[in-house]
């Protein structure tokens, strides 16, 4: 008897050593490699709620007991200890257990147990004691894969369970499951600091990993704490890895706040999606950058935009140019028939006059007002070299431009920069077809849109963007800080205003700009149009349209080493004004 006690004591000591050594290794290994194993050691005493799990005392809801000379042990406690599911399904009044290799269903009402689909009598293998499921001790070996010894003298059950390493190779398919694994570039990150994930996943069969599924992963985190992040991967045969989880620690130190983060980290062209509260609190009332405004009056601007939607044929607008001029038109066919639009040029002198075209913006007829306004402006801002010339005899009328037929509800938008060697009258006319009698058509009535001739066709803004330290802006098209240009409508004989400054080209220049982001924020409604940054066209947005509810778009980022920043644009037809250009100072945290 003394020898038996000595052997049991040695077994207990070895088992407890295993538990103290193996459990932490298993916990760490489960984080680092899902194929590792660990050992769990349990001591149960008959009819006592006190037990030991891996050397620590615990209290059981249901102790081990003897029923009809058979030892029964608590199923839920052991299942949790071994990492196996034991769950009461109230809707079915059944208990489900998942153990290595076995799916077990215990039907209490019908006194049945189903093990991988095979029936057994409930009382032969299980019992319900005080509402708790108890299983026969032999199940520990048969269905849970545990080893046990029973000490009759101590009335104690010693249970040792070693979690087997999970294999990843399936001989039936001659293929292996992939392995998900990753780490972080450093142990901890600050609030708003971009997290760098290092992917360590692999496929033992070298087939590649076409599918990744993350849970809890973000570009950055904006509250301190510990965040569990899980990765699962699939190979090309659809085999799925075990989920792999690591904990990311975010300290209480701030790197970037939630507003700064997208501005600092997103590339040029990106949307910065924000809610209305963020826009209002951080961007809506920014201070304005001081600007020196120069008006270029060397080229008069003829704007034909009223009636914007015409319902009959006739003359839309008419005025003369001598020297440099810009012809701008935006019209929609409101009739029920196919129409065409033309610009007639009449030599008002007694000598031949040359008309030279130096730049143009044209677009095919379309029903999408934002589209035609944006595309015509793109064409004009690109500024492809052009040198078209026509010579008009004295007192004669030529067709300067005639456009493709456009159908009901379609519209056109156009720009032309011209230079004439004498006085030329330009007539914007629409009709089913253009004939010699086009100049005899009636002049169509004004209907509230912009129409007239304006002495200013270009605005030059010089700004100091070298030393500002807080986010600032320029407001475009508000009619206050950016006044609408005055002009004259000869067809009505009255002073007019170019609401929106359509057809006007803005040129914004800054010497030696600091490191910053330049963004656009629409304020008046739907916006779509191009903006030229240091000679490169940026589409706003790249597709569709945008409003303030969509947030902002990053137009450019400067490094602080550029000699200058030049921004060029013209308010696109079909888009609502005003909008803001936001200049946001950056530091070395910017990517």
Q: What is the DSSP string of 290-348?
A: PEEEEEE-SSEEEEE-SSSEESS-EEEEEEEESSEEEEEEEEEE-SSS-BEEEEEEEE-
Q: What letter does residue 164 receive in the DSSP assignment?
A: P
Higher pLDDT, 436 or 485: 485
What is the token pair recorded at 106?
A: 């215990």
Q: How far apart are CA 304 and CA 401, in angstroms?
A: 14
In 3-state terms, what secondary structure has residue 429? strand
Nearest partner of 65 among 55, 74, 53, judged by Cα:
74
Sort strands 516-522 and 579-585 into parallel, antiparallel or unpaired: antiparallel
Give the DSSP H or E segment for 13.
helix 2-32
Q: How far apart are CA 281 and CA 114, in angstroms?
A: 63
How would DSSP label each residue in 447-476? -SS-EEEES--EEEEEE--SS--S-EEEEE
Go through 73-93 and write b for each residue having 16 or more CB atoms within 10 A of its CB, e for each that does not: bbbbbbbebbebebeeeeeee
Q: How far is CA 521 from the centre of its chain?
A: 17
Give the DSSP H or E segment for 78.
helix 75-82
Domain 39-162 has CATH 3.40.30.10: no
- Contact at 8 Å (CB) between 548 and 344? no
Q: Is the pLDDT of residue 33 over 90?
A: no
Res. 124 pLDDT band, cuts 50 70 90: confident
Res. 505 pLDDT band, cuts 50 70 90: very high
Q: Is the pLDDT of residue 252 over 70?
A: yes
Nearest partner of 363 among 398, 324, 399, 410, judged by Cα:
410
Res. 330 pLDDT band, cuts 50 70 90: very high
Give the chain's mean pLDDT. Answer: 88
Question: What superfamily would CATH give domain 169-255?
Answer: Immunoglobulins (2.60.40.10)
Q: Is the pLDDT of residue 11 over 60?
A: no
pLDDT score for 371: 83
Q: How far is CA 322 from the centre of its chain?
A: 51
pLDDT score for 55: 86
Place of tokens 């894969």: 145
Instruction: Among 32-36, 228-232, 238-242, 489-493, name the one with the lowest average pLDDT.
Output: 32-36
Sort strands 451-454 and 300-304 into parallel, antiparallel or unpaired: antiparallel
**Which backbone phi and psi does 478 adopt, to 5 degrees?**
-95, -10
Higher pLDDT, 288 or 134: 288
What is the token pair recorded at 540?
A: 């706003």
Locate CATH 3.30.457.10 in the chain.
39-162
Q: Is the pLDDT of residue 399 over 50?
A: yes
Kindly report, residue by residue over 257-271, the tens digit of the pLDDT: 999 999 999 999 999
Q: How far apart are CA 414 and CA 42, in angstroms?
A: 85
Instruction: Report the pLDDT averaged over residues 206-222.
Output: 93
Nearest partner of 531 among 549, 556, 513, 504, judged by Cα:
556
Higher pLDDT, 284 or 117: 284
Q: Is the pLDDT of residue 13 over 50?
A: no
**Which backbone phi and psi does 26 adopt, to 5 degrees?**
-65, -40
Q: Is the pLDDT of residue 370 over 90?
A: no
C-alpha atoms less than 13 angstroms from C-alpha of 6 in its C-beta half-sphere: 3
Q: Could you tell me which residues come within 8 angstroms of residue 12 by beta carbon, excluding any fewer than 6 positions away? A: 158
How would DSSP label each residue in 534-583? TTEEEEESSSS-B-GGG-EEEEEEE-S--SEEEEEE-PPTT--S-EEEEE
Cite the beta strand spans of 75-137 per DSSP E: 85-89, 94-99, 102-107, 112-115, 118-121, 126-129, 132-136
Q: What letter does residue 203 receive in the DSSP assignment?
A: -
Q: Could you tell me which residues come within 8 angstroms of residue 465 by beta carbon, excluding any fewer than 6 positions away? A: 289, 510, 513, 514, 516, 565, 583
Locate CATH 2.60.120 in the chain.
266-294+459-585, 306-449
What is the token pair recorded at 344?
A: 């007639």
Res. 332 pLDDT band, cuts 50 70 90: very high
Whole-Å CA distances, 118 to 105, 113, 121, 167: 10, 8, 10, 26
Q: How far apart are CA 135 and CA 128, in angstroms?
A: 9
Quote the pTM value: 0.70
Kindly report, residue by residue over 336-362, the tens digit of the pLDDT: 999 999 999 999 999 999 999 999 998
Identify the top-confidence range among 12-26, 124-138, 177-191.
177-191
Instruction: Report the pLDDT averaged over residues 191-204.
Output: 92
C-alpha atoms less than 13 angstroms from C-alpha of 313 in its C-beta half-sphere: 17
Q: Is the pLDDT of residue 22 over 50?
A: no
Higher pLDDT, 177 or 585: 585
Q: How far apart are CA 350 and CA 328, in angstroms?
A: 27
Query: Cα Rg for the chain, rounded, in angstroms?
Result: 40
Res. 165 pLDDT band, cuts 50 70 90: low
Q: How far apart are CA 9 and CA 12, in angstroms?
A: 5
Q: Is the pLDDT of residue 237 over 80?
A: yes
pLDDT exceeding 90 applies to what percent of the chain?
57
The CATH code for residues 306-449 is 2.60.120
Instruction: Report the pLDDT averaged over residues 552-562.
Output: 95
Domain 266-294+459-585 has CATH 2.60.120: yes
- Contact at 8 Å (CB) between 236 and 176? no
pLDDT exceeding 70 applies to what percent of the chain?
92
Locate CATH 2.60.40.10 in the chain.
169-255
Q: Is the pLDDT of residue 279 over 50?
A: yes
């Amino acid at each position: 008897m003394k020898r038996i006690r000595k052997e049991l004591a040695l077994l207990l000591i070895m088992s407890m050593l295993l538990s103290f050594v193996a459990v932490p290794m298993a916990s760490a290994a489960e984080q680092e490699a899902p194929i590792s194993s660990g050992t769990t050691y349990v001591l149960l005493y008959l009819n006592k709620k006190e037990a030991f799990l891996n050397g620590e005392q615990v209290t059981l809801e249901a102790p081990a007991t003897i029923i009809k000379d058979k030892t029964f042990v608590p199923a839920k406690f052991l299942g949790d200890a071994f990492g196996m599911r034991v769950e009461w399904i109230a809707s079915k009044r059944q208990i489900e257990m998942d153990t290595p290799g076995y799916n077990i269903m215990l039907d209490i009402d019908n006194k049945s147990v189903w093990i991988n689909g095979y029936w057994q009598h409930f009382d032969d293998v299980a019992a319900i004691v005080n509402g708790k499921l108890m299983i026969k001790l032999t199940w520990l070996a048969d269905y849970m894969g545990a080893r046990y010894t029973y000490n009759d003298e101590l009335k104690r059950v010693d249970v040792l369970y070693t979690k087997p390493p999970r294999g990843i190779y399936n001989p039936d398919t001659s293929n292996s499951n992939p392995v998900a694994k990753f780490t972080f570039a450093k142990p901890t990150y600050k609030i708003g600091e971009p997290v760098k994930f290092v992917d360590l996943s692999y496929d033992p069969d070298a087939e590649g990993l076409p599918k990744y599924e993350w849970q809890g992963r973000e570009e950055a985190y904006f509250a301190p704490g510990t965040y569990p992040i899980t990765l699962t991967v699939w190979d090309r045969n659809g085999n799925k890895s075990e989920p792999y989880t690591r904990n990311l620690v975010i300290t209480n130190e701030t790197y970037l706040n939630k507003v700064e983060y997208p501005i600092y980290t997103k590339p040029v062209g990106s949307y910065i999606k924000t809610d209305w509260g963020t826009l209002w609190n951080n961007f809506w009332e920014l201070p304005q950058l001081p600007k020196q405004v120069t008006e270029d009056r060397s080229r008069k601007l003829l704007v034909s935009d009223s009636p914007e939607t015409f319902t009959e044929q006739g003359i839309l607008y008419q005025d003369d140019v001598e020297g440099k001029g810009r012809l701008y038109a935006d019209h929609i066919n409101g009739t029920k028939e196919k129409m065409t639009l033309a610009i007639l040029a009449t030599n008002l002198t007694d000598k031949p006059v040359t008309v030279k075209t130096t730049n143009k913006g044209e677009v095919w007829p379309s029903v999408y007002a934002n589209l035609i306004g944006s595309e015509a402006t793109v064409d004009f801002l690109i500024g492809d070299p052009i040198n078209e010339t026509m010579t008009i005899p004295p007192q004669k009328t030529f067709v300067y431009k005639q456009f493709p037929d456009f159908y009901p509800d379609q519209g056109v938008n156009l720009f032309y920069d011209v230079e004439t060697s004498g006085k030329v009258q330009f007539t914007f006319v629409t009709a089913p077809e253009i004939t010699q009698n086009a100049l005899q058509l009636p002049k169509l009535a004004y209907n509230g849109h912009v129409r007239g001739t304006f002495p200013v066709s270009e605005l030059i803004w010089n700004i100091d963007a070298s030393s500002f330290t807080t986010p600032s802006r320029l407001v475009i098209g508000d009619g206050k800080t950016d006044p609408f240009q005055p002009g004259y409508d000869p067809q009505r004989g009255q002073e007019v205003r170019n609401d929106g400054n359509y057809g006007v080209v803005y040129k914004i220049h800054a010497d030696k700009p600091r490191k910053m982001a330049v963004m656009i924020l629409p304020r008046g409604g739907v916006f779509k149009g191009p903006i030229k940054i240091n000679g490169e066209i940026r589409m706003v947005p790249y597709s569709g349209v945008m409003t303030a509810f969509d947030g902002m778009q990053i137009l450019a980022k400067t490094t602080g080493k550029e000699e200058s920043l030049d921004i060029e644009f013209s308010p696109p037809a079909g888009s609502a004004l005003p909008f803001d250009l936001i200049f946001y100072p950056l530091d070395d945290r910017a990517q």
